[in-house]
Amino acid sequence: MSEHQEDSLEENMLSDNDSSPAEAENNVDTGGGEVDRIAELQREAEENHNRYLRAQADFDNFRRRTMKEKEELAQYASLKLVGQLLPVLDNFQRALHTGEGADSASFTKGIEMIYRQLSQVLEDEGLKPMEPVGQPFDPELHQAIMQVETDEYEEGIVVEVVQPGYRMKDKIIRPAMVKVSG
């Protein structure tokens, strides 16, 4: 350090020590500024805590509301389908009442019409019947109930459907019960 810098440093130190009582009060006042700053930070912390509590309450309300909506959705999920099936039910009732005096051909025709109507409603909802005859046996899609000897198909091919299987979109609702060539 140069001589000039040492002299300046000594003068500054001396002047700091020679401060008047009024200047000393000002120095204490900066401590009061710290008290104000602490009080401000405490208010800010309290505001943040209150905001946190409100956000937590909002989240709890949101969670309860979505759970209630989910329960209602599950409870009434089939409402649309049932509404579409009511005309089919009505037609079955009409067929049963008119079938008592009708000939068997017209009764059979009426039942076939109702079957087509029901099939159409279910197809519109995404239900598709499987057509496994001639396809290789797949345990994911088929339930083999019998193995039969046949010259028409090679081994492991579905020969006959005993009970149809259905899929809804990409999900198997019921596997087809089939006979498989052996």
Q: Report whether pLDDT(25) > 60.
A: no
The pLDDT confidence band at residue 41, using thresholds 50, 70 and 90, is: very high
At a CB cut-off of 8 Å and minimum separation 6, what does 76 contact?
Answer: none
H/E element holding 164? none
- Per-residue tokens: 91: 């037609």
Residue-wise pLDDT for 46-105, tens only, equals: 999 999 999 999 999 999 999 999 988 887 877 788 888 888 888 888 877 775 666 778
156 C-beta neighbours (distance < 10 Å), count: 13
Q: Report whether pLDDT(9) > 50.
A: no
Query: Measured between alpha carbons, how far is 43 from 48 in angstroms, rounded to an integer?
Result: 9
DSSP helix/strand/coil, 128: strand
Residue-wise pLDDT for 116-139, tens only, equals: 999 999 898 889 999 999 999 999
Query: Measured between alpha carbons, how far is 1 from 21 in angstroms, rounded to an integer?
Result: 33
Query: Measured between alpha carbons, how far is 80 from 89 in angstroms, rounded to an integer?
Result: 15
What pLDDT sits at residue 99?
59
